Structure 1
């Protein structure tokens, strides 16, 4: 039958933040390795920062000229690359002007994406058959329906967070979100979730202002995701089986994580928005398991007082540490936030850098623990490398991720058990993890079990690989069906499906 063996061609568009870009790039390479043509789209701003962070990249100051997938194509992968305007100038500070940027993502970006997709659909060979868009985009179903594409919603966080957002109507109905006085009792009515405390909800569901730009994005995005043909999730089936089973009753949901490149820390495609320091020589001089890695991710800001308490806690603990401190960790306009007495006090056992290749650090034998914000990529990398976590969530999904790490999987501990953090508690928790062999042994035992489940999922007949193969077959089948319906004169229905 005509077109039955046509090569699938997917457009992929990540949300314009580091934690979303990285798994999108890895997925693009995995799909291309399995016979897909990929057209990958970054915003001009994201592309500029990625290429600018590469020491040898040639950067056009308007939108960047270096193609980040050039090496991947040399390896035989059919990945094309395009950029799209997000509505703001390159030098606009998207972190400092966060709400204004989010308004643009909500209202402006879709028109630029629509124009670009229209151009790609008209000119691409093989024809584009599929749109893989980040779940947080509010326009995925609209664009896919307009161009008769299979709509795949890519969720880059755990299934627990997906289902909590997905069932926002239940949280509202039961008074745990959106009421003047939100309930504080256990939430036990979300399908696939045994029970969760309100303090473990995502930060946006604990907020008092529920009409911020991000909230409005969440509301629209999680209506849109329900119109997708399928959801792919960067998690492991065995780690969130009950939650994923419940989601699958709503619509097809595939756990295909962790989505990692071959060799995990081998990267053919640059993804970092910041220039990376090579910490290998410093780590090589440290004893096995003696270094605490500290990083609070690529996005969230840290209160200056909390940062100081953590710094002095590190100094008091006597622990060796490698601390990633983004220049904008407090704010884009706040610098020199570390006091000199701290810097003098830790110079013999601490290394502080602006950014690094995290997986290269976490996989190093000198690393014995990870003080983390509990971003999902950081959590997956820690599990893969068997490194226990000290959790200090700051924003969005990190509070729910902490629940999985500490309460469910028991592979980490809380940094702060009270309402505010103190240097004394930081010191005690660091010593508990790094200097108490019995405690580390208990965490390591749990970590080995969770790590084994993750590794098994990526084996040839593991759950993630089986789900990935099924996902590919389902995308091909839906693409072929839509193409044949179009040839036969049928058009998409109003809900985006072909009848």
Structure 2
């Protein structure tokens, strides 16, 4: 069987290079037309990574997939797409110009992690919505014609694109179903008096099968913030009018919350994760997310090889969450005081002058057992190494699911948005993690935040997760069992595998009916 390997390149706003290759393989068994999925991610690293994983999953099941991107974002995952295509998949990139100048953003500011202020964030989402016209023009020229548009939930403007082209439209949710259900329930019950008006007064989330106590500030929907009200309304409407929802989770992890959320929305939900298990090939794992040199990956792996099984603490807070210098000092001195080996990833944006001056001293003192990485690191490569025994994480859903799928207990320190509710899922529901700072009452952890954690908190949490006590052993056993369930879910006959089958068949059936 042969496949067309290539890139659809859109140079100008309304200029698209159509695919002219004749697709002799665009038929499924039984003569059915293969579906053509168009995926529109939010241009944020934590959203693009699972969307590209989804592209690989769909292509591995015989579908044609087009991923919408921009020049800057293409550089981050083009190597991965090329690798997938070289392996016989069929994934194309539709590269649209991002309208930076039109909204007053610096040229090349095409990803959320390049945005530094609230004003720039507002401009960024405005620029995203301005891509609707160019995307319609591009998709009109595609052949075979698209049959289904899958949009990140943060891209409500794609509903107009799908409507104009007469396409099925699914919402892809990157966060946990637990977050989606809890934040929806908090919003829905807010007017009934079951949810206090005070943002930091504890209460139990209504409508759940168990008691989960939170504060309202940490149970908000993505855009429930001043100045974002209109965007939140658009997101809610886009979800309400979608033809179905795809969620990066698996039934064995979130069954009661999936059932309640599906009932609440009246929509079909397809849980198809963990998508981080889409490809077990080592090179694919290294390429996920950003560029890491082969030498750097080898250096990290060799360092881990020299450590005992399950002895290393891995510390990383994703691409968006930021920390003040004082918090970085507390983390570092806490790691040092733990007397355990660690790998610590520090983002370039957190490398202030104070940190730059202080870090070499810590590196010297912990030289025999500490590895500090600056910038990007191949997270799944690290987490999957047998020497890693715990993960100090911000609880972004990608990181959380990666830890779940690899059986790694977590130390949780959420910074923003869905991360607070994800912590509740890990610590209180799944019971595979320990909170770094229980009942921390804050809306955001930012570069300006001070005094939220101390080195003693870090040392205590590490000891709780890594010691040989009965509670820690039970936690590790639960984590290992979830990893077994995650892998089973993605294999033929597993819950996520079958859910993806049903979703693809739904698109095929709807397309045949429509025709």
> TM-score, normalised on structure 1?
0.84
> Structure 1 residues 292 and 169, CA, compared in 2 at 3 Å: closer, same or farther?
closer
1:128 to 115, 138, 146: 146
Q: Deviations over 1:304-355 (max 9, x none)?
A: 3222111111111111000011111377x98627444423321221001122
Alpha-carbon separation, structure 1, partners of 2:157 and 2:98: 14
Ranges of 4+ aligned residues in structure 1 off by more than 6 Å: none
1:302–1:330 contact (8 Å) kept in structure 2 = no
The answer to whether structure 1 residue 307 and structure 2 residue 319 are counterparts is no
| Paired residue secondary structure (1:272) | coil
* Alpha-carbon offset, residue 167 of structure 1: 4.4
Alpha-carbon separation, structure 1, partners of 2:64 and 2:404: 31
Which residue does 2:178 correspond to in 1?
Answer: 160
2:37–2:149 contact (8 Å) kept in structure 1 = yes
The answer to whether structure 1 residue 262 and structure 2 residue 279 are counterparts is yes
| Paired residue secondary structure (1:328) | helix
Which residue does 2:7 correspond to in 1?
Answer: none
* Alpha-carbon offset, residue 424 of structure 1: 1.6
Which residue does 2:163 correspond to in 1?
Answer: 145
2:334–2:455 contact (8 Å) kept in structure 1 = yes
Alpha-carbon separation, structure 1, partners of 2:364 and 2:121: 40
1:165–1:222 contact (8 Å) kept in structure 2 = no
Which residue does 1:33 correspond to in 2?
Answer: 60
User: 1:130-209 residue pairs with structure 2 within 5 A?
Assistant: 130-167=148-185, 169-174=187-192, 179=197, 184-189=202-207, 194-199=210-215, 202=218, 204=220
| Paired residue secondary structure (2:356) | coil
1:106–1:138 contact (8 Å) kept in structure 2 = no
> TM-score, normalised on structure 2?
0.82
Which residue does 1:377 correspond to in 2?
Answer: 398
Alpha-carbon separation, structure 1, partners of 2:279 and 2:290: 21
Give the helix-richer structure, 1 or 2.
Answer: 2
Which residue does 1:87 correspond to in 2?
Answer: 99
Alpha-carbon separation, structure 2, partners of 1:433 and 1:194: 24
Alpha-carbon separation, structure 2, partners of 1:440 and 1:114: 54
* Alpha-carbon offset, residue 165 of structure 1: 4.1
User: 1:266-277 residue pairs with structure 2 within 5 A?
Assistant: 266-267=283-284, 270-273=287-290, 275=292, 277=296
Alpha-carbon separation, structure 2, partners of 1:181 and 1:427: 30
Alpha-carbon separation, structure 1, partners of 2:41 and 2:465: 35
User: 1:50-89 residue pairs with structure 2 within 5 A?
Assistant: 50=76, 69-88=81-100, 89=106
> Structure 1 residues 168 and 111, CA, compared in 2 at 3 Å: closer, same or farther?
farther
Q: Aligned Cα RMSD in Å?
A: 2.9
Task: Mark the runs of 5 or more structure 2 residues left unpaired by the alignment.
Answer: 1-26, 101-105, 441-451
Which residue does 1:107 correspond to in 2?
Answer: 126
* Alpha-carbon offset, residue 16 of structure 1: 0.9
Alpha-carbon separation, structure 1, partners of 2:204 and 2:488: 33
> Structure 1 residues 100 and 175, CA, compared in 2 at 3 Å: closer, same or farther?
farther
* Alpha-carbon offset, residue 403 of structure 1: 0.8
1:71–1:269 contact (8 Å) kept in structure 2 = no
Task: Mark the runs of 5 or more structure 1 residues left unpaired by the alignment.
Answer: 52-65, 485-499
Query: How many residue pairs are counted as aligned between the two chains?
Result: 461
Alpha-carbon separation, structure 2, partners of 1:338 and 1:451: 38
Alpha-carbon separation, structure 1, partners of 2:237 and 2:391: 36
Which residue does 2:226 correspond to in 1?
Answer: 211
The answer to whether structure 1 residue 346 and structure 2 residue 349 are counterparts is no
Which residue does 2:475 correspond to in 1?
Answer: 443
